[in-house]
Amino acid sequence: MTRIVVVGSINMDLVTLAPRFPAAGETLLGERFLTVPGGKGANQAVAAARLGAEVMLVGALGRDAFGEQLARGLSDEGVDTTHVALLDDVGSGTASITVAEGDNQIVVVPAANAHVTPAQVEAARAHIERADAVLVQMEIPLETVEATVRLGRSLDVPVILNPAPAQPLPTEWLARVRYLTPNQHELATVLGDEGRTDFRELIRRAPCPVVLTRGGEGAWYREQGEPRHQAGFAVDVVDTTGAGDTFNGALAVFLREGLETAVRKACAAAALSVTRLGAQGGMPRRVELDAFLAGQAST
């Protein structure tokens, strides 16, 4: 069984469905409201677990109603939460999400996620050492992201850095990353580009291999040589929330099969995820992904 360690955020997503996005200062009647588990770390952990991996999550929750619900949900998904800290003095993280016209807008309040520490990463060293891949994002403190990248490199374990929300990163960090998985905007931000350079050129310039997501277009990736394109899969889009996290979780799970295969399966998993509502609610299980890919092969 593939072993994955995820270091990242855990949120409760507060989701509002609306006919369109409101203008500044406008009050708009929504169609539906629901609370669903989220956070990039938790999402990627659940995505990997549903695809058959053994997953451990390093993160933090508040001792509140959301925290209890989120911890229980992760355990129900088979995610090991041994290294998820429960904090008394801060609440659990939240993300306020508006979904309209097949797209989304998100505001994140980190709360407990801002207290995920390098010490927690070090405490999970034994699990990281046995892992096939480590996933980390940037909804937690930067020093903790750095500690994860450094530890993974020192243990010769592939670290996949999903740089969201994006900010410029030192070249020495990126050189330690096995794969960087941004979208086009995030790649430009990470590399300090003003957005005028073609994304393929940015992929070439990056000091580490890049797997760049392009929504329905699929993904572009480069390990050596020129960037290559994996086309997206045509599906009926319901909610794009969590598609990138599904992609990252799947990429980590299938990385042992080679980058080309992993990217194709990650694109397929992400496509399936947008056909249902909710970040984690749409994430496919292994049997669904296998059936979907078999159907694609027969057409």
For residue 229, the model assigns a pLDDT of 97
The response to whether 241 counts as a known ligand-binding position is: yes
Within a domain: residue 23? no
Residue written as token pair 């998985």: 181
For residue 210, the model assigns a pLDDT of 97
The response to whether 12 counts as a known ligand-binding position is: yes
Query: Residue 291: which CATH number?
Result: 3.40.1190.20
Residue range 252-296, pLDDT digits in tens? 999 999 999 999 999 999 999 999 877 788 899 999 999 999 988
Within a domain: residue 182? yes
Residue range 15-61, pLDDT digits in tens? 899 999 999 999 999 999 989 899 999 999 999 999 999 999 999 99
Query: Sign (positive/negative) of CA torsion 144, 121, 128, 84?
Result: negative
d(CA 101, CA 227): 32
For residue 108, the model assigns a pLDDT of 84
Residue range 79-97, pLDDT digits in tens? 999 999 999 999 999 989 8
Rg from Cα positions in the chain:
18
Within a domain: residue 96? no
For residue 131, the model assigns a pLDDT of 98
Within a domain: residue 188? yes
CA distances from 238 to 19, 24, 213, 290 (A): 13, 25, 19, 21
For residue 299, the model assigns a pLDDT of 54
Count how many domains the chain has.
1
Residue range 193-233, pLDDT digits in tens? 977 889 999 999 999 999 999 988 999 999 888 999 999 99
The response to whether 62 counts as a known ligand-binding position is: no
Within a domain: residue 137? yes
Within a domain: residue 21? no
For residue 46, the model assigns a pLDDT of 98
The response to whether 13 counts as a known ligand-binding position is: yes
For residue 259, the model assigns a pLDDT of 96
Helix (H, G, I), strand (E, B) or coil at 202: helix
Segment 5-15 mean pLDDT: 95
Within a domain: residue 127? yes
Residue range 146-162, pLDDT digits in tens? 999 999 999 999 999 99
User: Per-residue pLDDT for 298 more than 80?
Assistant: no
Residue range 99-127, pLDDT digits in tens? 898 788 888 899 999 999 999 999 999 99
Q: Which residue range(s) make up the domain with 118? A: 3-9+40-70+78-90+113-298
Q: Pick the closest to residue 134 from 57, 33, 32, 69 (CA basis).
A: 57
Within a domain: residue 247? yes
On whether the CB atoms of residues 199 and 184 are closer than 8 A, the answer is yes
The response to whether 139 counts as a known ligand-binding position is: yes
The response to whether 81 counts as a known ligand-binding position is: no
The response to whether 225 counts as a known ligand-binding position is: no
Q: What residues act catalytically?
A: 245
Looking at the DSSP bridge assignments, the partners of residue 3 are 54
Q: Which helix (H) or strand (E) holds 54?
A: strand 54-62
